[in-house]
A and B are shown apart, each in its own frame.
Chain A
Amino acid sequence: MSDPQATTNGAPSRAFNPRVLLVGLLVVAPLVAVLLVNLGRNPHVIGSPLVGRPAPDFSLQPLDGGEPVTLASLRGRPAVLNFWASWCVPCFQEHPLLVAASRSLGDRVRFVGVIYEDSEEQVRSFLARQGSAYPSLVDPGSRTAIAFGIFGVPETYFLDAEGRITAKHIGPLDAASLRAKLEQAGVTP
């Protein structure tokens, strides 16, 4: 500070700087966009890439014996594929709804349960207590569950009459979403 000239040199402009604004916007705008898009989403619900495509083929033995149920055998009318287990509380909650829907819709929709990581005795005693209206299929090694991209139970796939997946429901079904997804699969109310 010994040189008096220095005191007037190099004073920064405190005025508005468009470069700062531009770089700030470049950083902030994408972050805001990502937050707007993703904040409403549940990160644990991952959309299935199979929706809109033909269902994976399978051939599974019903718990009660009889002919194996295959994808081909479901064709001709819409189908509901419910992956479930007797140890799963939400499955217990949605079970009466599925049984009632299966009974009331009769031949118009094919309901099928696929057992997920459960013992046959447990499933039998669950069905004896809670009632059953449609076959429950044994899935050794969860091969069919893996082919359908199951994350946990309950998860329910809706198939149209051509065996194409029209919707996937994660978690327990309620009457309204069951009705909506059945309609989507081609069931007239």
Chain B
Amino acid sequence: MTPARLRLGLLALLAAAALVAGAAARAQEAAPGAEPASVVGPPSGAPLAGAALEARTEEVGGLLRCPVCQGLSVADSPATMAVNMKAQVKELLAQGYSQEQILAYFEHSYGEFVRLEPPLRGVNWLVWLGPLLALAIGGAVVVRVVLRSRRGEQASEPVAADAPGRDTLPDDPELARYVRRVRELAYGWPDGRPPKAA
């Protein structure tokens, strides 16, 4: 097995685990109500206004997935739904809700799907640490293989099991006699027969 194949395999394994994690992940809150306060409690931060409010709206909107055009964030999408959600994000920030409260509020309705960045909890850790882990394992495999090949640099390349060896002789007895004589002359083996292997 080559290190490249091993690394590829490990990456595929981690990607598969991440997929399972994403499919299994579900929101856990159980509070009812459309009023954000009934879902995530009273605002935990300071109310925002002016330029700071605009900037935070873009930031928090950038962390929310637009439910209509699923590849875009709420901040980037021109869809009416995204515009409405962004307006609500702005309103909640102006009331002093924190980023985490706002994301949790939308997650209550849409599930973890609505977050563009999977939160660091449960199996989601794999998504964040998986690539680093794969890099570490792959690096270790590469170092090991390089060290081993350097150590055994003089070793010859592999030979097929049925390839002629040093004691192979042709079937023709006349020819075999010549081969043994050549071996005797070239290697100094008595009668052209190789010494017993150690």
**A residues within 8 Å of B by Cβ?**
1, 4-12, 14, 19-20, 23-24, 26-27, 30-31, 33-34, 37-38, 44, 46-50, 53-58, 117, 141-152
Residues of A within 8 A of B110 (CB): 46, 49, 149, 151
Q: Which of B42-50, B116-124, B151-159, B170-178 contacts A (4 or more CB under 8 A)?
A: B151-159
Residues of A within 8 A of B106 (CB): 146
What are the 4 closest A-B residue pairs judged by CB atoms, nearest first? A54-B32, A149-B109, A147-B34, A27-B9
Q: Does B159 contact A20, Cβ atoms closer than 8 Å?
A: no
Q: Does B81 contact A117, Cβ atoms closer than 8 Å?
A: yes
Q: Does B84 contact A5, Cβ atoms closer than 8 Å?
A: no
Chain B's nearest CB lies how many Å from the CB of A47?
A: 7
- Give a binary string over B157-191; 1 marks a CB under 8 Å from any A CB, 0 the rest: 11111011110000000000000000000010000
Residues of B within 8 A of A58 (CB): 34
Q: Does A143 contact B166, Cβ atoms closer than 8 Å?
A: no
Q: Does B87 contact A5, Cβ atoms closer than 8 Å?
A: no
Known: A46-B113, A49-B27. A141 touches B84 (CB 8 A): yes
Q: Output the residue of A4, A23, A44, A49 with the most chain B CB within 10 A.
A: A49
Q: Does A143 contact B34, Cβ atoms closer than 8 Å?
A: yes
Q: Does A142 contact B80, Cβ atoms closer than 8 Å?
A: yes
Residues of B within 8 A of A50 (CB): 108-109
A-B contact pairs, 27 of them (CB 8 A): A1-B156, A4-B194, A8-B165, A9-B155, A10-B157, A11-B158, A11-B159, A12-B158, A14-B161, A19-B1, A20-B1, A31-B12, A34-B19, A34-B20, A48-B111, A49-B26, A49-B27, A56-B32, A56-B109, A58-B34, A142-B80, A143-B34, A146-B85, A146-B109, A149-B67, A149-B110, A151-B67
Known: A11-B158, A20-B1, A33-B20. A141 touches B88 (CB 8 A): yes
Known: A34-B16, A149-B109. A10 touches B155 (CB 8 A): yes
Residue A141 contacts which of B70, B87, B155 (CB distance < 8 angstroms)? B87
Q: Does B163 contact A30, Cβ atoms closer than 8 Å?
A: no
Residues of A within 8 A of B6 (CB): 23
Residues of B within 8 A of A9 (CB): 155-156
> Is B143 on the interface with A (CB-CB < 8 A)?
no
In Å, the complex CA distance between A47 and B25 comes to: 11
Residues of A within 8 A of B160 (CB): 11
Chain B's nearest CB lies how many Å from the CB of A178?
A: 24
Residues of B within 8 A of A142 (CB): 80-81, 84
- Give a binary string over B42-85; 1 marks a CB under 8 Å from any A CB, 0 the rest: 00000000000000000000000001101000000000110011
Q: Does B17 contact A7, Cβ atoms closer than 8 Å?
A: no
